[in-house]
Amino acid sequence: MGAPSQPHQATYAAIVIGAGIQGSFAAYHLAQRHRDTLLLEQFLLPHSRGSSHGQSRITRSAYPRAPYDRMMPDSFRLWQRLEAEAGTSLYRRTGLVVLGPVGDPELEGCRRSLGANRLLDATELAQRFPGLRLRADEAAVWDDTGGVLFADRALRAVQDVFRRRGGTLRDGEKVLRIEPGAVLTVTTTAGLYRAPRLVIAAGAWTSALVAPLGLRLPLQPLRIDVCYWREKEPGSPDAGRAAPCFMAVGLSQAPHGVYGLPALEYPGLVKVCYHHGSPADPDKRDRGLLGAPRPNIALLSSFISSYLPRLEPRPAVMESCLYTNTPDGDFILDRHPKFSNIIIGAGFSGHGFKLAPVVGKLLCELSLGEEPSHSTAPFAITRFPGALRAAL
Ligand SMILES: Cc1cc2nc3c(=O)[nH]c(=O)nc-3n(C[C@H](O)[C@H](O)[C@H](O)COP(=O)(O)OP(=O)(O)OC[C@H]3O[C@@H](n4cnc5c(N)ncnc54)[C@H](O)[C@@H]3O)c2cc1C
């Protein structure tokens, strides 16, 4: 055995912490701007400990909240660009049904964002998608741009293009310390790196990284049950692979919403999840899980019996993932209030994947001191009073 290797030391034009989908897209855009960029990841890649793993995520145009609605056309365009650059397909168009009680504000917001004049009633929806059932006082809106993003493949593609542009990705290297300054110093388990700008996109670990920088962000990591449900009659076209994606909003029995995607990961198993979970320490995500009560599974079983009667109401496969929620469900995309060359992207609250190409672009623009191409005012840290601790 040789002598232990010396810690790495190097200087870059930019450092990004976190090779999930947001940090990887920030690094991709920085490298495109000919910036010599280092992307640091604590785990060996690929890994399933954060928020970006798995084969599928929903994308859509229907967005009840204006800032996201305005960003989606740019996002669709940038996903297509990545497909072309990586020479691979990352998106399958399935369409998306948004369903909820007639008059529900979120359902109405989706209708407005699509410019649709009217909603589909229960009979119309049943004719079109017999696998989906509504109650008489419920309605649906159809988003024909909706579909599935191939998440793991997308993450690999954006990292491959980043490296092809000359970027450096170092995985299995955890950031331990950040020293602010005109030139920042980042200390990891294997090295010491310097750069004039830093992007922190560390998902559920963001609070731990920014606390020593005097920031207390109201980020709540949640463990999410990712559930797959078997078709009662395997291969039925409208329950399985050929079904649309869906989102259920405004239901009293599922107040945070339910969403589903056609069978993809496992043949004949449809992914249906509750859009909420249990508070978790990201380093101990699955602790105490065996045998513990899982109230969200009972909620999903009851939802499936009512709305998706062609599926068995017991999950066939269960996996885990993490959300990092803000109190208002909106992202954080901002400069550190005191150290303006530290940019933070966090709090994606379970809906950040589809927007990652735009999020990465905004993080890149903020870090270069440019006017962001979409307003980042709705994503400001200052909306949380007390986020900047007086100690600094
Ligand atoms: C089950 C599930 C379903 C979802 N469905 C959808 C959907 O349908 N549509 C949609 O748009 N969004 C969806 N999302 C949300 C979306 O996946 C997330 O918003 C997105 O993946 C967040 O990415 P991230 O890069 O912020 O976090 P992460 O992927 O967790 O990346 C952060 C990275 O930082 C690394 N890191 C942390 N600390 C350090 C450190 N000290 N040093 C080095 N590296 C560090 C972590 O290891 C991690 O790899 C879903 C999420 C889940 C969990």
Contact 365, 74 (CB under 8 A): no
Structural domains of the chain in order of their starting residue, each with its CATH number: 8-53+152-219+328-383 (3.50.50.60), 96-143+222-325 (3.30.9.10)
Contact 322, 221 (CB under 8 A): yes
Closest atom of ligand 1 to CA, residue 349 = 19
Q: Is 331 exposed, middle or buried (0-12, 13-18, 19+ CB in 10 A)?
A: buried
Question: Distance from the CA of 286 to the center of ligand 1, in angstroms?
Answer: 16
Question: Distance from the CA of 128 to the center of ligand 1, in angstroms?
Answer: 34
Contact 20, 203 (CB under 8 A): yes
Question: Distance from the CA of 305 to the center of ligand 1, in angstroms?
Answer: 30
14-17/198-200 β-pairing:
parallel
Specify the residue with its C-alpha closest to ligand 1, atom 21: 52
Residue 266, pLDDT > 60, answer yes
- Helix, coil or strand: residue 37: strand
- Helix, coil or strand: residue 341: coil
Mean pLDDT to the nearest integer, 157-184: 98
If pLDDT is split at 50, 70 and 90, which confidence band does 2 have? very low
Tens-place pLDDT, residues 19-61? 999 999 999 999 999 889 999 999 999 999 999 999 999 999 9
Q: Which residues form ligand 1's pocket by a CB distance below 6 Å? A: 17-23, 40-43, 50-52, 57-58, 174-175, 201-205, 209, 224, 226, 273, 321-323, 348, 350-354
Mean pLDDT to the nearest integer, 87-115: 96
| Helices and strands, counts by H and E, the chain | 8, 21
- Helix, coil or strand: residue 3: coil
Q: What are the helix (H) ranges across the chain? A: 21-32, 66-86, 105-114, 122-128, 151-164, 206-210, 295-307, 356-367
Residue 288, pLDDT > 90, answer no
Tell me how far apart the 2 most distant CA atoms of the chain are, in Å.
Answer: 73
